[in-house]
Structure 1
Amino acid sequence: MKKFPVYILLILCCISCQQEKEVKSLKLSHSLGLSHPVHIAMEYFAERVKEKSGGTLTVDIYPSSQLGGERESLELLQIGSLAMTKVSSAVMENFSPKLQVFGYPYIFRNKEHRYKVYDSELGKDLLEDGEQYWLKGLTYFDAGSRSFYTKNTVIATPDDLDGLKVRVMESPTAINLVKILGGSATPVSWGELYTSLQQGVVEGAENNLPSFYTSKHYEIAKEFSMDEHTSIPDILVMSTLIYDELNPEEQNWIQESADEAAVKQRELWEAAEEEALTEIISAGVNVTYPDKDLFKERSEPLIEALKSKDRELYEIIQRIKNIN
């Protein structure tokens, strides 16, 4: 029988061990297109996880609602059939009610204020609130400010929304806001909105500039009113059922990568907003800048309702804007 030198046997053993090393793959689903800055940030997240783990932990991304809409994805997380998803906090509020606060109008003074809130202890507490529903918030992705856009109606004042069928997310807070402004709130999933605008199921919608641009809604809706009524973040969410199966080192890789992706995403978002505004104007969209005070005044009852419901939460958010 032929004998191999010891060093060859060691090499063969190392190769065998490497081949047998388990590679864990996590599925991440979301509803955005490939060019959206949040999708690009999630690609960065997946790259960082792979690098940190040396390839033993990977994230496979399924964009454009391939595995279902936002609500369906959250339900899959709750039963452990899907590892991660990106959802709007407005949809997440159906599962984690405290997140409703992000859907209230004009609660943030500006971009810097909302970043401070996301990065604060309050922001972390709100992310953790979903864990009792098997949904672990990993980080926030900035989604800018949401404004109204329509097929052919200029929204200069809240009165212009009277009776207008406006698509909203499946969020009680978003529905109440459009109603109080006079519109007819019509929940439609993001993946179905282009066709709904095309067929007249809705006459308008509300969202941020990059989403309006990358979804190509500007091909149908030619009026964009920069009222910036809400600033609702996206949230990267993980199933606690799957997270708890990871060892502490793997959990750390996931969280570190999510935190790094959030920083990267803010850079991407700023550039995406500038590009989107330039491109939609070139495509013939009429961008107007209404008096925001008119929208603030009409929606004030919602802020008063928040103060009555949770004055401490409202006051914490307002104090954060003064923190350096």
Structure 2
Amino acid sequence: MRIKIILLIILFTGIVSCKKTNNYKVLYLGHTLPQTHPVHKGILEFKKSLEKKSNGTLKVKIFPDGQLGSERETLELLQIGSVAATKVSAAILSNFVPEYNVLGIPYLFRNKVHQFSVLEGAIGKSILEKGSKFWLRGLCYYDAGSRSFYTSKKAIRTPEDLNGLKIRVQNNQMAINMVNSMGGAATPLAYGELYAAIQQGVVDGAENNPPSFVSSNHYEISKYYTLDEHSSVPDVLLIGTKYWNKLSKQERIWVQEAADESAQAEKIFWKESVDQSLKTIKDWGVEVIIPEKSLFAEKSKNVVINFVKKFPEMGKLVKEIKNN
């Protein structure tokens, strides 16, 4: 029903994926993040760079704050060609491209340098291209940080502290398996319902990166934040193939170059946001815990083993990433 309402809005406001006006085209880009978010700032860099490279012949109109719907709904708009581009979590894309699932494996990357060496190299580019058969062409990855646990009543210092706790996760099997493997009770729940769920004790906590922990105001009702950094799922800037296929060769080059440049700028915005978010958390009185990550990594090993058993073709990709 909601997607029908969005389509009606698009119809009556004249929004189409690529509106050609006089001597320029307008690229419509929708996403769910607030305008203060570092990823939105990265998208602004994409707009700035593309308009400059094309000398104004390609313009970008951004619709933030979920104006065009949820991540799933915006993806559907890309697929039918009503919107040109969007930004979503790689976890959402795993519903279309199985390889994106691999990026959610706990402790897959050794550090940030290793992560982006993989994502910006041949492996990452190959995964981006695989979405084209679903009309969702990946342009670049944005840093979305590392997800860590936060709880309202009990501190998480070791995996054993998770025993019996209901932890909200995204509706993604990898995330569910990971929390369960560590002893927690994974509880998929809509993000918009999470504040009240923690406040009312429906769940005992959740997991996310520092900027999201702050922007959601979850730090107001969570006493503990444990920087175990169990997964580093990136965001992905996507362009619909229905729009991409209408571009000239030169226009495609401009779009890709602008995306790559925005990804580098977004990394800086992200680091600044993490630093500021951790300060905000501490100033509010939340206890920030630095645990022994190896304990959490050891507990989650079976998640990787079982994943590779279920999807043998992914085993090679996991090995390539770890050996990169």
State the SS of the aligned residue for 1:160. Answer: helix
Deviations 1:53-91 (A, max 9, x none): 222222111222221111221122122222111111111
- Aligned position for 1:319: 323
Structure with higher Rg: it is 1
Structure 2 vs 1, CA of residues 270 and 64 (structure 1 numbering), >3 Å: closer, same or farther?
same
Deviations 1:258-278 (A, max 9, x none): 000011111111222111111
Deviations 1:78-129 (A, max 9, x none): 2222211111111111111111111111111111110110111011001111
Measured after TM superposition, the shift of residue 222 of structure 1 is 2.2
Cα distance between partner residues in 1 of 2:34 and 2:221: 18
5 Å-filtered alignment, 1:291-302, equals 291-302=292-303
Contact 1:77 / 1:239 at 8 angstroms: preserved in 2? yes
Cα RMSD (Å) of the superposition?
1.8
Corresponding position of 1:118: 119
User: Shift in Å at residue 34 of structure 1?
Assistant: 1.4
Q: Which residue of 2 aligns with 1:262?
A: 263
Show CA shifts across 1:119-150 (max 9, x none).
Answer: 11011001111111111000000112110112
The change in CA–CA distance for 1:27 and 1:285 in structure 2 (over 3 A counts) is: same
In structure 1, distance between residues paired with 2:280 and 2:299:
31
One-letter amino acid of the counterpart of residue 264, structure 2: V
* Unmatched tracts of structure 1, length 5 or more: 1-19
- Report if aligned partners of 1:32, 1:65 keep a CA contact under 8 Å in 2: yes
Q: Distance in 2 between matches of 1:165 and 1:261?
A: 37
CA distance in 1, matches of 2:256, 2:206: 34
Shift of 1:250: 1.9
Q: Does residue 63 in structure 1 map to residue 67 in structure 2?
A: no
Distance between the aligned counterparts of 2:196 and 2:84, measured in 1?
Answer: 30
5+ residue gaps, structure 2: 1-20
Distance 1:194 1:145, change over 3 A: same
Matched residue pairs, number? 302
- Provide the C-alpha distance between the structure 2 equivalents of 1:43 and 1:145, rounded to a whole number of angstroms: 23
Tell me, in whole angstroms, the C-alpha distance in 1 between the residues paired with 2:190 and 2:76. Answer: 15
Distance 2:118 2:36 in 1: 27
> How much does 1:237 deviate?
0.9
Q: Which runs of 4+ in 1 moved over 6 A?
A: none
**Map of 1:16 onto structure 2:** none
Q: Say if 2:244 is the partner of 1:243.
A: yes
What is the rounded CA distance, in whole Å, between the counterparts of 2:209 and 2:301 in structure 1? 22
Amino-acid identity (%): 48
Match of residue 283 from structure 1: 284
What's the offset of the Cα at 1:25?
Answer: 1.6
